[in-house]
């Protein structure tokens, strides 16, 4: 393949990739609409899904989710934040690491909750919602980036609860406080998992894909129901 054809194919592949991302993501207008609706209410807990930590500092996605949660907290839209995620791809508990980060940037510790079982985004929502219900919280919201929020929307409505409010990140609002954002030093040794084995080595691809679709949750509920029968 000649250089010209290669560059053309690469450009077309990139355009296709961008179009797929745009199809999977809520538009900025849709995100603002969700936010406008959320401002009319006050939620007991905001569920924030975890993201792998690299052992150095939070990346763009992690910072976005944490600062968005803080923004909603500061605005009085949410009362507590539950960061969810086990140690999945790197040897640090995702939810607990994000909790340390949130505390370091000013979220009061007494308003920070964690869930440390979830290994897939569907489990982030399911296990966190279940933990909230068990703790007596009733008004729950979900906050993440527009792509993940849209991908999980149907699962949340059909498999978890249609009462969960969706509050995807409005990046224009985060830009307002961007100059205030910091990368705090956190003691990530507290969330480090010794003898860690990444998910890709514990499960085959079809098992991981099944988990992504919520298959692990369904299996656990079936076993639970059989045990109670």
For 28-42, the pLDDT digits (tens) are 888 999 999 999 999
Q: How far apart are CA 178 and CA 168, in angstroms?
A: 17
Average of per-residue pLDDT values in the chain:
84
Name the pTM for this structure: 0.83
Which strands make up the sheet holding 43-49, listed edge to edge? 112-115, 78-84, 43-49, 140-142, 165-166
- For the ranges 83-87, 186-190, 194-198, 217-221, the maximum mean pLDDT occurs at 83-87
Superfamily of domain covering 32-228: HUPs (3.40.50.620)
Mean pLDDT, range 196-207, rounded to an integer: 78
Higher pLDDT, 45 or 20: 45
């Amino acid at each position: 393949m000649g250089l010209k054809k290669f560059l053309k194919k690469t450009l077309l592949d990139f355009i296709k990739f961008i179009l797929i991302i745009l199809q999977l993501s809520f538009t900025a207008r849709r995100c603002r609409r969700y936010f406008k609706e959320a401002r009319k209410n006050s939620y007991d807990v905001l569920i924030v899904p975890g993201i792998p930590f690299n052992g150095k500092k939070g990346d763009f996605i992690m910072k976005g989710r944490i600062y968005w949660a803080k923004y909603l907290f500061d605005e009085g839209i949410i009362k507590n934040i539950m960061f969810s995620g086990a140690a999945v791809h790197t040897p640090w508990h995702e939810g607990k690491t994000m909790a340390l980060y949130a505390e370091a940037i000013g979220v009061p510790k007494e308003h920070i909750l964690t869930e440390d079982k979830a290994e897939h985004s569907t489990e982030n929502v399911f296990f966190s919602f279940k933990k909230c219900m068990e703790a007596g919280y009733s008004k729950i919201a979900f906050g993440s980036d527009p792509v993940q929020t849209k991908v999980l929307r149907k699962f949340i409505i059909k498999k978890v609860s249609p009462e969960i409010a969706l509050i995807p990140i409005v990046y224009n609002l985060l830009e307002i406080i961007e100059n205030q954002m910091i990368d705090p030093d956190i003691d990530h040794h507290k969330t480090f998992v010794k003898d860690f084995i990444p998910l890709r080595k514990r499960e085959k691809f079809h098992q991981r894909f099944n988990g992504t679709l919520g298959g692990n949750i369904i299996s656990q509920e079936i076993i639970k129901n059989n045990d109670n029968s």
